[in-house]
Amino acid sequence: ETGVTQTPRHLVMGMTNKKSLKCEQHLGHNAMYWYKQSAKKPLELMFVYSLEERVENNSVPSRFSPECPNSSHLFLHLHTLQPEDSALYLCASSQGARPVDTQYFGPGTRLTVL
Amino acid sequence: QKEVEQNSGPLSVPEGAIASLNCTYSDRGSQSFFWYRQYSGKSPELIMFIYSNGDKEDGRFTAQLNKASQYVSLLIRDSQPSDSATYLCARTGDYKLSFGAGTTVTVRA
């Protein structure tokens, strides 16, 4: 595996379900990110982890819960979501969390909440 | 005011022509600027980044930055049908990347 991988690629869940999204980076990076991309809207930064420490929680509802057990893995735990949470969820990683550090994106998880 | 503004398009150009994409940003503290390409249903992929005023060329792509005018652009020379995609402009002053909504480009064969 190379780059940034995400599983699952597609997920359909009910509002009462609990599910998790997984991201893994094989680039030796130290920073990882979760973004949400809704139709016709800019990518929205949700969470940032640098050296496994959360450095940003961008006013995200508590029904989204991130976890970063090590510098290569990032999870997004989902519970009691709403239909408006349906979107493409993208994971990214970068060497560090500095302005010069380019972020590389995974393929995304297409989430549909019924 | 949006942090990053782009014309949504679509921008339609004939094959072989130059596609010109524009982006403005509001935060004068912005340090780094990125252009990503996103095909329909796919994730963004980095095309170029630029930090300094002026032009930066990479193959058929040229990024231009004017910090005084808070303006960054992307030129695609010799446009190909495979360049048809949405192009995302992004800026950062720290680790938080702020994106525009993207410009959709269609290259006509």
Instruction: Quick: pLDDT tens for B13-23.
Output: 999 999 999 99
Distance separating alpha carbons of residues B3 and B84, to the nearest angstrom: 25
Rounded to whole angstroms, the Cα distance separating A52 from A41 reads 29
Per the CB < 8 Å rule, is B88 touching A40? no
Position with higher pLDDT, B109 vs A108: A108
CA A105 to CA B101: how far, in whole Å? 17
Contacting residues of B for A30, CB less than 8 Å apart: none
Residue A1 — very low, low, confident or very high, per pLDDT cuts 50/70/90? low
The pLDDT of residue A28: 94
The model's pLDDT over B28-53, given as tens digits with 9 standing for 90+, comes to 888 899 999 999 989 999 999 999 99
* pLDDT tens track for A59-88: 899 999 999 999 999 999 999 999 999 999
Which whole number is the average pLDDT over B65-91?
96
| CA nearest neighbour of A46 among A37, A55, A34 | A34
Q: Which residue of A has its CA nearest to B100?
A: A42
Which of B49, B95, B99 has its CB closest to that of A43? B99
* Strand positions, DSSP E, B1-109: 4-6, 11-14, 19-25, 32-38, 45-50, 54-58, 61-66, 71-76, 85-92, 98-99, 103-108
- Give me the phi and psi of B5, to 5 degrees please: -120, 135
Residue of A nearest to B34 (CA): A102
Identify the weakest region by mean pLDDT among A19-23, A110-114, B6-10, B63-67.
B6-10
Q: Does B43 contact A90 at a Cβ distance shorter than 8 Å?
A: yes
Of A42, A43, A98, the CB nearest to B95: A98
Q: Which of chain B's residues have a Cβ under 8 Å away from the Cβ of A59?
A: none
Closest CA of chain A from B103, distance in Å: 10
Cβ neighbour number for residue A56 with a 10 Å cutoff: 17
pLDDT at res. A59: 82
Q: Which residues of A touch B97 (CB under 8 A)?
A: 33, 43, 45, 103
pLDDT tens string A92-101: 999 988 877 8
Give buried/exposed letters for A8-27 (b at 16+ CB in 10 A, else e).
eeebebeeeeebebbbbbee
Return the SS3 of B23.
Answer: strand
